Amino acid sequence: MTLSAANEARAAEIISMFPRPRSALIPLLHLAQAQDGYLTDEAMRRIGELVGATPAEVKGTAGFYEMFRFEPLGTYLVNVCTNISCFLWGGEELLEHACESLGVEVGGTTDDRMFTVEEAECIAACTEAPCLQVNYRYRGRMTPDDFDRLIEDLRDGRVDVAGHGVLAQVSQMIPADRLAGVVPPERAREAPVWLGRNEAGVTG
């Protein structure tokens, strides 16, 4: 679906933060993915209109990033690492167990659309091998039994994990006086606001 009314307003807000509308493309893609769980064609078309890009350009940009999705995923995205450290500590077996117990292939989604299982390259948690992510939240030193318990907890709602749209994890409220105050380079007539703040010794 296309952007909701609330997200249209948020999109306008995001676009206003950038010197050029086109620069807002990726934040808007996050917004659309947070809304639908993946990037719908309608949302990409709408984003193209908002930032002045063709739908092909929008999809081409999104397609460069693995965490933008073009197909619906399960509620929980399970990424099992099989890179070297996890491999040595049983990552492969963990992935195999995950697929078997959920009844899906790697990359597949369960029939109830709850879980999608994917194989991940190193997710930089080698000290916690074998590790996995649920909606990009880490779980370390996982045994197959731990995995089954985790799935049960998720099914029963005993564990609360935010959606796999990444905007929830990156969005932050920046007070108005801390905004960079950027203008397009061709319109810049004076030093940027942040430079003045830095020079005044205000840091943070």
Partner 1 sequence: MTAVEPRATVEITVDGVSVDARPGEMLIAACERAGTYIPRFCYHPRMSPVGMCRMCLVEVDTGRGFALQPSCMVPVTEGMKVSTESEASKKAQDGVLEFLLINHPLDCPVCDKGGECPLQDQTMAYGPGETRFVEEKRHFPKPIAISETVFLDRERCILCDRCTRFADEVAGDALIHFMGRGNHTEVNTFTDEPFASYFSGNTVQICPVGALTAAPYRFKARPWDLTETLSTAWVDSVGSRVAVQASRNRVLRVLGADADAVNWGWLSDKERFGFEALNSDERLAAPIIRDAVGGDSREFRQAGWGEALEAVTAALAGASPERVAVLGGARLTNEAQYMWAKLAKGVVGTDNVDAQLGDGLDPQLVLGLTRATIDDACRPGGTVLLIGPDPKEELGTLYLRLRHAIVNDGVTLIEVTPHATGLSHLAAHSLRPRPGTTAGLVAELVAEAAAPGASGAEGSDPPRPELAAAAQSLAEAGDGVVVVLGRASLAEPASVINAAALELSRLPSARFLPALRRGNVMGALEAGLAPGLVPGRVLLDDVGDDSPLAQTWPRLPASAGLDAAGVLRAAARGDVDVLVLVGADPLNDFADRDLAYRGLRGASLVVAVDLFVNDSASLAARVVLAAAGPTECDGTFTNLEGRVSVMSRKVTPPGTARADWMIAADLSERLEPGSTSGLETSEAIRAELALVSEVHSSIASDALEADPMEGVLLPLPGTAADAEMVHAAADEDPGEGEFLLIAARTMYDDGVMLRHCPSSRGLAPAATARINPADAGGAGLEAGAAVRVVSDFGHIEATLTFDDGVPAGSLRVDWLAPGAPANALIAEGTEVTLVRVETR
Where on the chain is the footprint of partner 1 (CB under 8 A)?
Answer: 41, 44-45, 53-60, 63-66
Classify 3 as helix, strand or coil.
coil
Encoding tokens for residue 199? 């020079």
Classify 35 as helix, strand or coil.
helix
Kindly state the smallest distance separating residue 169's Cβ from partner 1, in Å: 22
60 versus 196: smaller Cβ distance to partner 1: 60
60 versus 72: smaller Cβ distance to partner 1: 60
Q: Where are the beta strands (DSSP E) in the chain?
A: 76-81, 115-120, 132-134, 137-139
Kindly state the smallest distance separating residue 94's Cβ from partner 1, in Å: 26
Kindly state the smallest distance separating residue 124's Cβ from partner 1, in Å: 19
Kindly state the smallest distance separating residue 3's Cβ from partner 1, in Å: 17
The two beta strands, 76-81 and 115-120, are parallel
The two beta strands, 137-139 and 132-134, are antiparallel
57 versus 146: smaller Cβ distance to partner 1: 57
DSSP 89-101: TTHHHHHHHHHHH
